């Protein structure tokens, strides 16, 4: 019987270790270890053995069963990992095939720039205000120290709704200064972006509708140094910390002193190139100390309060930031243009 | 304003200041330099040459082969086709390697087989005309001997031609702000340059010898309207000899961009450039009645101006008239009837001050903005008229082109008091954020002739006198600007705005606006920006009913064109225009959004300007339900509750069967759907276009608050699918509502998953399938409970909607 058992063990181990797949291994398990298996069949003959032999052979049979179970487990593991490897290989994808398109919409490039500017000023403790576009000449001009007879008030420059030139499409965001001064408590720190309108034919640099951003701070003791400091901070946030700026005297009816702010050309660093038209500098905005007449006209005591204001065109800024060559693209809204930003 | 730096040097010596430095410093003190160019920038290697020998070209019947002395050891050979030269003539020679205006480059070569080592030039080839060189041949070489002024410079072979012809100047173009008309002159800019560079200003007082006689006996001047003409000054010249002006004057005019004409006309232009005071010269023999009347035109009067154009004058146009008729449009242009001509013998010089607005309006109405009118329109210094007319007469005597009659006619119709301002240095420092000592501030002001009465520089407040040409300086803030200009804007320190801390920040509505935009983009919609004004015909294009109140829009009285003439009362045409453009550009599909204003007229003439969120889409995967899905997503993101959709058949812009109005409870939020095929075809779009118009204000008002956490389910849900067959008119919405009503407290979700029509379903019917989710919060549902619920639902569907289990 001992020989019988040893023979079974040898044959079973050899067959199991070379089983080709899980099914074959399972068939071998049944063949040797199943209820009707070969090992069981031998054990059924145990009754014929002597009392001394019985525990010895029983022990041997159990050892063989344990051994075979170990072999099966090991072989099953081998076969499983081989099968997994084959499956993974079969599942290989071409990673260069494009992903499923999930097209997100785009914010208009000009409003992306506007949001950036709003965020900068919000960080400085400013508010963002909006106001009407159909405006009184009184707010668009008179209260801004632009007197009757000023060229900007001509019908050739401004769109009017009434024959007496009293109601118009605002030509600048500056009337929002007046609304803010008249309605908001002091101190005021605000920016006011919006659409403005001038009678310009459409071309690469003009549009009858465009956008400006107005900024204003009024408080006790506001100085021109504050204006410079604030604008320098903002421009550096917008154009980079290493931006070089300069302020030039200029003229606006509603500020005095007035200035324009230039940045050194980012392309040529001031040497002069086509981008800056050889000047080395690029004009970015107009600003100044709010004219005392304007403050007084809004009921603010100019001997106690002072303020600064600035304004600039959003289109030109966006065109410069994105190197867009033609203003018409801004209002054309071609999706092939929009999706670039 | 175009300035010759050579001319400027006559008043302020800046000969050692480079163009670059001049540019930078003038710009930083407020006179913005636009461009600065050398007149000779494009001319290189062009010299004076003497023709030593001249023979016929062997292969040509019109060319000459010249041996020309150009100041070298031996003459050079140049072939020319010109005919007006002879041996011994001094001519202009572009040498081998020369550059000429217009990018023309000269190189040695052969002309019909004969070597030519350069080119003989006409004045045109140097970029100039016979106006600059009245003695030069109109068609041929510029032979220098023809021009006495050039010969006076004793040109020698080999001399640089730019020096000989005086075109070695730097020409500066300034952007002068409208508050500084005084800077539209050489003297005005000299004042600025003197203040900028801290160098002395050398002004010249004109001196006129006169020839006796008395102007008062020859002419009578009358001003009818002192508001329009505060001052009129005139002098008379007799025995006028019209001739070209001398080279130095022509050079300066040319550098200043003014075409030389003849001595008298050139003098008026020269004085205008020098003093900023426009001048006019009348042929006095044409001034009838010996009388000058400054008055507005009478109805029906006309004038032919110097440019040969005829104009009808209106009664608000100021004119200079003789006894009978206008001879000049005041401040704009003279009349042809009193033009200076070759045989003019007596000239009346006018140096007057006119109302700027009046001149501007007249010039605009006549469509002729001139050098004179563009100066007058900004408001000129009335004190300048005398000096200017004196200077003109001085030049007449200097040029020897006439005899100046004694006496000046100077009619002052409106006096102007000098401006005295209180200077307060402490306030200036407080305003600028600087710490400039008081005396230093007075010194800075003195640079631009704003001085205390005794010329001192005190330590505290004092009165200062503002010169007559600085009409823009009217208050302390103007003085602060003058101090800042010469202290240097860039020397003012930088400080962040001080004062009370403010809260700042976006408002809730602004944050909401940003969030709505972000939702649209997440849905794949691109943002667009459209014009606020449209054509009134666009209302027809979207089939707006003729009695719609929205047809009443604010109308621009002076629009650029019909297309931009009314303020839109609906955003739809703007959106459709952009949809159409993208379609025409053959873009496969587009999804667009705009958060834009509409403009609804108000009784007070202004407008309500509410914002509307517009969506527009066509192309891939765009249909009614993708459009509705976008609207639903926007409402969901805004946490808007009780959303309802109702079919709208009456909105004429939309497909009557594919249009819905959206509500939050009873509040109307807007409308969306497929654009009516007639509308899209009208735009030329041959595919389905979908749009939505949602009131931003309504969205904002209907928005939900911060959500409150709902505990996650602890017990499993049971799902049951149900398919019912019902008649076609029964809507999914009605079926769903019926299911919800019948289900009771256990129903957690109803989801439509199929609608089927066809085999097995009666015509006029449809099978609608829903997946229902049932759940209790406190226990696992038994299948008996779920079945009971389903039973109720099926019963109700049958009873209420005649919908039967399939």
Strand-pair partners of A283: A262
Token pair listed for B599: 């403009």
Quick check: B309 and B363 in contact, CB under 8 A?
A: no
Beta-carbon separation of B500 and A187 below 8 A:
yes
Residue A36 has pLDDT above 90, yes or no: no
Please state, in angstroms and rounded to a whole number, the distance separating the CA atoms of residues B372 and B201.
26
Cβ distance of A134 and B525 shorter than 8 Å: no
Residue A54 has what pLDDT?
A: 84
Segments of B185-331 assigned E as strands: 220-223, 231-238, 280-283, 291-296, 302-304, 310-312, 318-321, 326-329
- Strand residues in B185-317 grouped as ranges (E): 220-223, 231-238, 280-283, 291-296, 302-304, 310-312
Cis amide prior to B571 (ω within 30 degrees): no
Q: Which of A30-44, A240-254, B504-518 has the least mean pLDDT?
A: A30-44
Query: Which residues face B35 on adjacent strands?
Result: B173
The shortest CB-CB distance from B27 to any of A160, A248, A333 is to A248
Please report how many Cα atoms fall inside a 13 Å half-sphere around the Cα of residue A301, on the Cβ side: 4
Task: Name every chain B residue with its beta carbon within 8 A of the beta carbon of A167.
Answer: 605-606
- List all residues 6 or more positions away from B623 whose beta carbon is below 8 Å from its beta carbon: B688, B690
- Taken in order of first residue, the domains within chain B and their CATH numbers are 2-39+169-197 (3.30.56.10), 44-165 (2.40.50.140), 215-412 (3.50.40.10), 419-487 (3.30.56.10), 508-702 (3.30.930.10), 718-805 (3.30.70.380)
Chain A residues within 8 A of B489 when measuring between CB atoms: 228, 246-249, 257, 259
Sort strands A188-197 and A209-220 into parallel, antiparallel or unpaired. antiparallel
CB contact under 8 A, A133 and B599: yes
How many angstroms separate the CA of residue A94 from the nearest CA in chain B? 26
Alpha-carbon span B437 to B426, nearest angstrom: 9
Inter-chain residue contact A104 with B497, CB threshold 8 Å: no
* Cis peptide bond N-terminal to B309, omega within 30: no
Question: How far apart are the C-alpha atoms of A142 and A137, rounded to whole Å?
Answer: 7
B227 — alpha (psi -120 to 50), left (phi > 0) or beta?
Answer: alpha
Closest alpha carbon within chain A to B355: A149
Count interface pairs A-B at CB distance under 8 A: 245
Kindly state the DSSP code that residue B290 receives in the 8-state scheme.
G
Subunit contact B585:A334, Cβ cutoff 8 A: yes
Q: Tell me which of B41, B172, B477, B575 to substitute to probe the interface with A (most A C-beta atoms closer than 10 Å).
A: B477
**Helix, coil or strand: residue B175:** strand
* SS3 state at B699: helix
Under an 8 A CB cutoff, do A248 and B503 touch?
Answer: no
How would you list the strands of the sheet with B32-38, edge to edge?
Answer: B2-4, B170-175, B32-38
**Closest of B730, B722, B721 to residue B802, by C-alpha:** B730
Q: What is the per-residue pLDDT for B693?
A: 98
DSSP state of A144: G
- Rounded to 5°, the CA angle B609-B612-B618 comes to 145
Smallest CA–CA distance, residue A144 to chain B, in Å, is 15
Choose among A254, A300, A304, A21: nearest CA to A147: A254
**Cβ within 8 Å of residue A341, ≥6 positions away:** A106, A107, A108, A109, A112, A322
Predicted confidence at residue B138, as pLDDT, reads 77
> Which single residue is written with the structure tokens 């005021």?
A188
- Chain B positions touching A162 (Cβ under 8 A) are 557, 605
Q: How far apart are the first and last CA of chain B?
A: 90
Distance CA B538, CA B555 (A): 14
Nearest to B794 by CA among B784, B783, B785, B806: B806
Structure-block tokens of residue A75: 């072989």
Measured at the alpha carbon of residue A15, what is the angle toward residues A10 and A19, in degrees to the nearest 5? 155
B557 and A106 in contact by Cβ < 8 A? no
Residues B389 and B407: beta-carbon distance below 8 Å: no
The residue among B522, B510, B528 whose CA lies nearest residue B615 is B528
Select the residue of B357, B480, B524 nearest A257 (Cβ to Cβ): B480
Distance (Å, rounded) from C-alpha B548 to C-alpha B5? 66
Q: Whole-angstrom Cα distance, residue A179 to residue B66?
A: 79
Q: Which helix (H) or strand (E) holds B54?
A: strand B44-56
CB–CB of B524 and A105 under 8 A? yes
pLDDT of residue A62: 86
Q: Could you tell me how many residues make up chain B?
A: 806
How far is C-alpha B254 from the chain's CA centre? 28
Q: So what's the pLDDT on residue A141?
A: 96
Establish if A168 touches chain B: CB-CB under 8 angstroms. Answer: no
Which alpha helices (H) appear in B329-472, and where do they start and end? 356-366, 371-376, 385-399, 425-432, 438-446
Please write the tens of the pLDDT for every residue from A154-209.
999 999 999 999 999 999 999 999 999 999 999 999 999 999 999 999 999 899 99
As to burial, measured by CB atoms within 10 angstroms (0-12 exposed, 13-18 middle, 19+ buried), residue A163 is exposed
CB B570 within 8 A of CB B542: yes
- DSSP summary character for residue B305: B
CB atoms within 10 A of CB A9: 20
State mean pLDDT over A246-266: 93
Burial (CB count within 10 angstroms: exposed 0-12, middle 13-18, buried 19+), residue B199: middle
> Phi and psi (nearest 5°) for B594?
-145, 135
| Spatial contact of B528 and A108, defined as CB atoms under 8 Å apart | yes
Across A19-24, average pLDDT: 89
CA of A16 vs chain B CAs: smallest distance (Å): 46
Q: How far apart are CA B34 and CA B722, in angstroms?
A: 79
CB < 8 Å to A235, chain B? none
Of A128, A134, A223, the CB nearest to B430: A223
What token pair was written down for B27? 């710009």
- Which of chain B's residues have a Cβ under 8 Å away from the Cβ of A189? 497, 502, 504
Report yes or no: A208 at the B interface, CB cutoff 8 Å: yes
DSSP state, residue B212: S
Interface of A with B in 89-128 (CB under 8 A): 103-108, 110-111, 115, 118, 121-122, 124-128
A208–B560 C-beta distance less than 8 A: yes
| Minimal Cβ distance to B477: which of A132, A221, A289 | A289
Radius of gyration of chain A from its Cα atoms, rounded to whole angstroms: 43
| Residue A203 CA: distances (Å) to CA of A330, B580, B645 | 12, 21, 44
DSSP string computed for B455-508: ----SS-EEEEEPTT-TT--SHHHHHHHHHHHH-GGGSPP----SS-------H
Do residues A339 and A329 lie in contact, with contact meaning Cβ atoms separated by under 8 Å? no
Q: Which residue has the higher pLDDT, A102 or A257?
A: A257
Q: Which one of A122, A161, A248 has the shortest CB-CB distance to B30?
A: A248
Do the bridges between strand B114-116 and strand B109-111 make them parallel or antiparallel, or are there none, so unpaired?
antiparallel
Q: And the tokens for B756?
A: 């089927």
**Could you report the predicted ipTM of this complex, rounded to two decimals?**
0.87
Residue B695 CA, distance from chain mean position: 35
**Measured between CB atoms, which of B30, B493, B499 is closest to A219?**
B499
CB-CB under 8 Å, B556 with A162: no
φ/ψ of B353, rounded to 5, equals -120, 125
DSSP B715: S
Contact B484 A224 (CB under 8 A): yes
Q: Which residues of chain B are modeled with pLDDT < 50?
A: none
* Chain A residues with beta carbon closer than 8 angstroms to that of B555: 161
B106/B95 Cα distance (integer angstroms): 7
Cβ-contact A335, B590 below 8 angstroms: yes
Task: Tell me what the mean pLDDT of segment A241-264 comes to.
Answer: 94
- pLDDT for B126 equals 87
DSSP B106: -
Mean pLDDT, residues A277-297: 92
| CB pair distance less than 8 Å for B528 and A333 | yes
pLDDT of residue B496: 83
Angle between helical axes of A22-33 and A53-90 (0-180°, round to 10): 170
Interface test mutation site (partner B, options A223, A252, A292, max chain B beta carbons within 10 A): A223
Q: Which residue of B433, B499, B501 is in closest CB contact with A224? A: B433
C-alpha to C-alpha distance for A239 and A281, rounded to whole angstroms: 14
Q: How many residues does chain A have?
A: 341
**Euclidean distance between CA atoms B98 and B77, whole angstroms:** 15
CB of B504 closer than 8 Å to CB of A122: yes
Q: Can you tell me the distance from the alpha carbon of B426 to that of B446, in angstroms, rounded to the nearest whole number?
A: 18
Cα distance from B364 to chain A (closest Cα, Å)?
Answer: 9
pLDDT at position A84: 93
Cα–Cα distances (Å) from A139 to A182, B335, B682, in that order, read: 11, 41, 41
Examine the pLDDT at A247 and tell me if it is beyond 90: yes
Looking at residue B665, its pLDDT comes to 94
Three-class secondary structure of residue B218 per DSSP: coil
Cα dist from B573 to A104, A259, B530, whole Å? 25, 41, 10
pLDDT at B90: 93
**What Å distances lie between residue B470 and A102, B4, B192, B751, CA to CA?**
65, 23, 12, 80
pLDDT score, position B1: 92
């Amino acid at each position: 019987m001992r020989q019988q058992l040893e023979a079974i063990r040898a044959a079973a181990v050899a067959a199991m270790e070379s089983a080709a797949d899980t099914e074959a291994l399972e068939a071998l398990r049944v063949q040797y270890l199943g209820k009707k298996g070969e090992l069981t069949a031998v054990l059924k003959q145990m009754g014929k053995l002597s009392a001394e032999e019985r525990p010895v052979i029983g022990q041997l049979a159990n050892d063989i069963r344990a051994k075979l179970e170990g072999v099966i487990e090991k072989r099953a593991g081998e076969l499983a990992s081989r099968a997994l490897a084959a499956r993974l290989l079969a599942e290989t994808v071409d990673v260069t095939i494009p992903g499923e398109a999930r097209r997100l919409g785009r914010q208009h490039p000009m409003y992306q720039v506007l949001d950036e500017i709003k965020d900068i000023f919000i960080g400085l403790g400013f508010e963002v205000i909006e106001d009407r576009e159909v405006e009184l000449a009184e707010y668009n001009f008179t209260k801004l120290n632009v007197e009757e007879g000023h060229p900007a008030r001509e019908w050739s420059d401004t769109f009017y709704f009434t024959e007496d030139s009293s109601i118009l499409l605002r030509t600048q965001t500056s009337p929002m200064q007046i609304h803010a001064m008249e309605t908001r408590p002091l101190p005021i720190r605000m920016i006011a972006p919006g659409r403005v309108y001038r009678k310009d034919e459409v071309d690469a640099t003009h549009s009858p509708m465009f956008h400006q951003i107005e900024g204003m701070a009024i408080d006790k003791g506001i100085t021109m140094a504050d204006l410079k400091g604030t604008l320098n901070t903002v421009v550096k946030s917008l154009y980079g910390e290493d931006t070089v700026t300069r302020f030039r005297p200029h003229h606006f009816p509603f500020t005095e002193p007035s200035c324009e702010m230039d940045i050194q050309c980012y392309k040529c660093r001031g040497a002069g190139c086509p981008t800056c038209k050889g000047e080395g500098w690029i004009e970015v905005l107009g600003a100044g100390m709010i004219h005392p007449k304007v403050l007084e006209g809004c009921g603010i005591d100019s001997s106690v309060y002072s303020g600064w204001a600035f304004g600039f065109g959003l289109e030109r800024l966006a065109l410069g930031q994105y190197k867009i060559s033609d203003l018409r693209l801004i209002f054309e809204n071609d999706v092939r243009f929009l999706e670039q930003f | 304003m175009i300035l010759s730096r050579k001319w400027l040097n006559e008043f302020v010596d800046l000969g050692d200041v480079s163009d670059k430095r001049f540019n930078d410093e003038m710009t930083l003190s407020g006179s913005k330099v636009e461009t600065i160019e050398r007149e000779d920038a494009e001319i290189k290697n062009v010299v004076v040459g003497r023709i030593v020998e001249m023979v016929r070209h062997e292969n040509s019947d019109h060319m000459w082969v010249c041996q020309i002395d150009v100041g070298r050891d031996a003459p050079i050979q140049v072939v020319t086709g010109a005919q007006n030269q002879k041996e011994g003539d001094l001519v202009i020679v572009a040498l081998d390697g020369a550059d000429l205006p217009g990018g023309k480059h000269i190189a040695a070569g052969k002309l019909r087989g004969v070597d030519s080592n350069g080119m003989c030039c006409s004045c045109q080839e140097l970029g100039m005309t016979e106006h600059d060189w009245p003695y030069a041949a109109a068609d041929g070489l510029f032979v220098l001997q023809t021009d006495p002024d050039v010969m006076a410079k004793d040109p020698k072979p080999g001399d640089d031609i730019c020096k000989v012809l005086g075109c070695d100047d730097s020409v500066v173009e300034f952007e002068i702000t409208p508050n500084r008309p005084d800077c539209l002159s050489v003297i005005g800019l000299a004042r600025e340059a003197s203040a900028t560079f801290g160098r002395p200003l050398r002004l010249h007082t004109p001196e006129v010898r006169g020839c006796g006689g008395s102007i008062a006996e020859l002419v009578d001047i009358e001003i009818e309207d002192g508001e329009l003409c505060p001052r009129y000054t005139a002098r008379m010249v007799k025995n006028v000899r019209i001739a070209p002006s001398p080279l130095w004057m022509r050079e300066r005019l040319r550098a200043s961009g003014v075409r030389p004409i003849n001595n008298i006309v050139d003098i008026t232009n020269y004085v205008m450039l020098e003093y900023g005071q426009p001048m006019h010269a009348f042929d006095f023999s044409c001034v009838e009645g010996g009388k000058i009347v400054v008055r507005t035109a009478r109805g029906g009067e006309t004038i032919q101006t110097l440019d040969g154009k005829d104009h009808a004058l209106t009664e608000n146009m100021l004119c200079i008239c003789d006894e009978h008729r206008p001879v000049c449009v005041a401040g704009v242009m003279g009349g042809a009837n009193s033009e200076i001509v070759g045989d003019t013998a007596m000239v009346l010089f006018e140096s007057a001050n006119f109302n700027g607005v009046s001149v501007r309006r007249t010039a605009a109405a006549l469509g002729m903005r001139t050098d004179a009118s563009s100066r007058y329109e900004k408001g000129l210094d009335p004190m300048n008229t005398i000096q200017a007319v004196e200077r003109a007469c001085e030049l007449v005597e200097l040029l020897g082109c006439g005899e100046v009659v004694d006496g000046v006619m100077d009619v002052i119709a409106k006096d102007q008091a000098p401006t005295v301002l209180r200077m307060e240095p402490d306030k200036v420092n407080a305003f600028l954020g600087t710490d400039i000592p008081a005396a230093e501030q007075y010194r800075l002001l003195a640079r631009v002739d704003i001085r205390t009465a005794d010329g001192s520089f005190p330590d505290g407040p004092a009165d200062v006198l503002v010169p007559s040409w600085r009409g823009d300086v009217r208050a302390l803030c103007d003085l602060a600007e003058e101090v800042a200009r010469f202290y240097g804007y860039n020397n003012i320190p930088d400080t962040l705005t001080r004062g009370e801390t403010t809260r700042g920040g976006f408002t809730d509505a602004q944050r909401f606006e940003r969030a709505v935009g972000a939702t649209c983009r997440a849905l794949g919609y691109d943002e667009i920006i459209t014009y606020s004004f449209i054509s009134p015909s666009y209302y027809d294009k979207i089939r707006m009913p003729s009695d719609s109140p929205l047809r009443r829009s604010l109308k621009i009285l002076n629009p650029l064109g019909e297309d931009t003439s009314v303020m839109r009362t609906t955003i739809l045409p703007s959106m459709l225009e952009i949809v159409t453009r993208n379609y025409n550009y053959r873009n496969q599909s587009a999804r667009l959004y705009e958060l834009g204003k509409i403009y609804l007229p108000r009784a007070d003439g202004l407008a309500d300007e509410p914002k509307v969120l517009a969506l527009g889409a066509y192309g891939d995967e765009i249909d009614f339900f993708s459009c509705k899905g976008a609207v639903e997503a926007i409402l969901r993101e805004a946490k808007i509750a009780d959303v309802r959709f109702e079919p709208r058949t009456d909105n004429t812009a939309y497909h009557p069967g594919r249009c819905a109005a959206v509500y939050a409870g009873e509040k109307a939020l807007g409308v969306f759907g497929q654009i009516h095929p007639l509308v899209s075809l009208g735009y030329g779009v041959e595919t389905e276009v979908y749009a939505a118009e949602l009131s931003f204000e309504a969205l904002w008002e209907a928005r939900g608050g911060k959500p409150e956490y709902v505990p996650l389910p602890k017990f499993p849900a049971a799902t049951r699918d149900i398919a019912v067959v019902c008649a076609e008119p029964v809507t999914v919405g009605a079926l769903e509502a019926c299911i919800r009503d019948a289900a009771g407290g256990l129903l957690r979700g109803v989801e439509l998953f199929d609608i089927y029509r066809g085999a097995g379903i009666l015509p006029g019917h449809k099978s609608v399938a829903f997946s229902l989710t049932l759940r209790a919060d406190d226990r696992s549902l038994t299948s008996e409970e779920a079945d009971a619920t389903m039973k109720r639902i099926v019963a109700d569907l049958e009873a209420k909607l005649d919908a039967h289990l399939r």
